[in-house]
Amino acid sequence: MQATEASSLCAGADLHGNNVFLSLIDGSGQEVYRRRVKASLESVNEALEAYWSRIEAIGVESTFNWYWLVDGLQAQGRTVRLGNPAKMAAYDGIKRTNDHTDARWLAEQLRLGVFPASYIYPREIRCVRDALRRRQLFVRQRVQAMLSLGGLLARYGVEAPGSYALKKWTACEIEATGLEPFVQLQLRTLLGALQDSDQRVKEVETSVKAFVVPSENFQRIQQVPGIGIILGMTIVLESGDFARFSHAGHYASYCRTVQSRRESNGKKKGENNRRNGNPYLAWAFIEAATFAIRHEPKIQAWYERKKRQRNSIVARKALACKLAKAVWHVMKGKDFDRRMLFG
């Protein structure tokens, strides 16, 4: 968004944990105001009270704690742009940089019309998406506790039962091992961590399912091979509004399933930023590819041919890319057809 009138202003807010650095520039690029305020919506509003009528937009970088500021300003009817840090252009020619210059640069990019705006998920959807992300934390904790428990039993020559049976263990099974008291103490703490994380995983899944499963998008995405309940919920929530992706390749790139490559004069000169895109979708489509290979004979045959030509990593990622493109078509209203994968 460019500042088109001399009286209009563009604002930049460099957000930190305990304060916010504000900068306002006019249509000619001159800074007319700067201030550091406490990290609260009330303080930001108070600092900009005399300028809001002239501010076209305020740019905020997507830091770890942007929710309160962006949500609060949008609720007040302010025009807010959330900046993508991975695409934020660096500024050159400045000998000294600090938080004030960072805030001014956010405003300057707005003025020039080059601000790399990110999609702002609706607050009510974002909360559900974040809850499902926390599930991955509990899954990792569950796996770590399971491996530690099995390793400890193996160290003392006790054969560990299967994972399902191990989660059902109680103090009686631990005492029956006959191991030393301090070894049993370790077993009890690890078992408690395992059962607690397992309960947290189930709690999150139950709540998110109740929200997502009835949606039309979730029902449609189940048509695509390799996508079950958890992956379907992840893809629907992480993707947000599919209308923001202009074509299937754009969506596949956002899912990090396409090759990162920089060329010049027809030759490869390196790689671009492979971190652009959504890491949770990258994980989801690799998992979907793994399940599709395991359960779909035609997909498995294609994967084996591709693996012989290149290697397993390239083949799996190529399949993930095809699945991502198929999801885009399905979310655009088409029924799934295997020709979406193999032409």
Average pLDDT over residues 223-252: 95
Non-local CB neighbours of 336 within 8 Å, separated by 6+ positions: 223, 224, 326, 329, 330
Average of pLDDT values for 287-310? 96
**Residue 251 pLDDT:** 97
Q: Give the whole-angstrom CA distance, residue 159 versus residue 161.
A: 7
In this predicted structure, the answer to whether residue 1 has a pLDDT above a threshold of 70 is no
Mean pLDDT of the chain: 91
Distance between CA atoms of residues 19 and 35, nearest Å: 10
98 pLDDT exceeds 60? yes
Domain ranges of the chain: 9-112, 123-212, 216-342
Angle between helices 297-309 and 312-331 (to 10 degrees): 130
The closest alpha carbon to 10, from 85, 118, 115, 121, belongs to: 115
Element (H, E) at 280: helix 279-295
Question: For 9-112, CATH number?
Answer: 3.30.420.10
